[in-house]
Amino acid sequence: MRSSGAVTRQGVICDPTMNMSLPNTGNRSHSSAERAGVVVLLTVLVNAFVMKPGLFVDQVVGGLVYGFILVLLALGLSIILGLLGVVNFAHGALFMVGAYLTHQIVVQWGFSFWVALIVVPLLVGVLGIIIERAVLQFIYDENPLIGLLATFGLALMLNEATRATWGGSPLSVPTPEALSAGFTLFTTTVARFRLFTVVVSVLTVVVVYLLIERTDFGLSVRAGVLDREMAELVGVNIHRRFVLMFFLGASIAGLGGVLRGTEVGMDLAMGDQFIILAFVVIVVGGIGSLFGSVVSGLLIGEAVFLTPLLLETLAIRTNIEALAIPGIGGLMPYLVMIVVLLVRPRGLFGQEGFLE
């Protein structure tokens, strides 16, 4: 007898009256786990704020400022990597040079911080142009490993030049008087310079986005990245635009150096420390995505500052002292990277096929 059901290619009889869209229990359980995780996180955040409101606000602000410094460094690095395809390991050294030039202008030459804020990014941008014209223009079409090795050598040279010029001891820059005071935020006092850092960083991100995404210049640069020969055939001077983009990326690194050096001082290790974190930010956000770098930088900044406080709160609430892990903040960028790459191998906003 013929069955009233339909026979599939595998010979399995299917009843047409049955609901063919079986429930996806895997997705449901996954969504439930996500919701439960969010609820737990919010609960811990509220508890941390209730128990130590002043410290909680300090950590949030500290994470925001630290995150925006990472954003500035990663933004310039992402421009050079995403648009020019060069893994610029010397970018951290440019960040460090920006901090030391601030000390030179403010402390040794006696100019104001506001002069350094304008002049230093321009000087670091010019240094970036010299690096691009002297070395990097010859390796645009080469294996990215060649660019990595070349810029690593440049970073070592800049480190030694900085040591020879300013010495190996940590230096500092006085905070400008207009930004030295603090203001009250909830139950704590926040330094005005931290707010200034956030404002300058936000303005920088907006300007870079508008330049790359909303102008003819940015469109021509992106067109040159996709097909350089075709862009040159229609009259676009790609070499000049690449130089200007390298200038922009280096200037942003210099700006980050000015802000970071003024807030916490400077030493020869700051470039090496932050270049690693900048690469982590780019990987987490997604290579080739400027928006991803911004989101990732802020995420990592808050994770570094808030995680120790949250774990301490959990340890107090549960009476499990082992939860308060010493030094966990420094590990958070790498833990965040591991988790994100396990879930999204291209990062949060990575472009499919980019650099693959």
Q: Do the domain assignments include residue 87?
A: yes
CB 105 within 8 A of CB 278: no
Predicted local confidence at residue 351, as pLDDT: 65
Q: Do the domain assignments include residue 235?
A: yes
Q: Do the domain assignments include residue 39?
A: no
Q: Do the domain assignments include residue 307?
A: no
Specify the pTM: 0.85
Range of the domain at 68: 60-268
Predicted local confidence at residue 3, as pLDDT: 45
Predicted local confidence at residue 356, as pLDDT: 46
Q: Do the domain assignments include residue 36?
A: no
Alpha-helix residue ranges (DSSP H) falling in the chain: 25-51, 53-84, 91-103, 113-134, 144-166, 177-180, 192-214, 216-226, 228-233, 238-264, 270-285, 290-318, 328-343
Q: Do the domain assignments include residue 68?
A: yes
When divided into structural domains, the chain yields a total of 1
Q: Do the domain assignments include residue 190?
A: yes
**Consecutive 10-residue averages of pLDDT for the chain (356 residues):** 44 42 50 69 75 84 94 87 79 96 96 96 95 85 83 94 94 91 80 93 94 87 77 80 89 96 94 93 88 93 92 86 86 94 88 51
Q: Do the domain assignments include residue 160?
A: yes
Predicted local confidence at residue 275, as pLDDT: 93
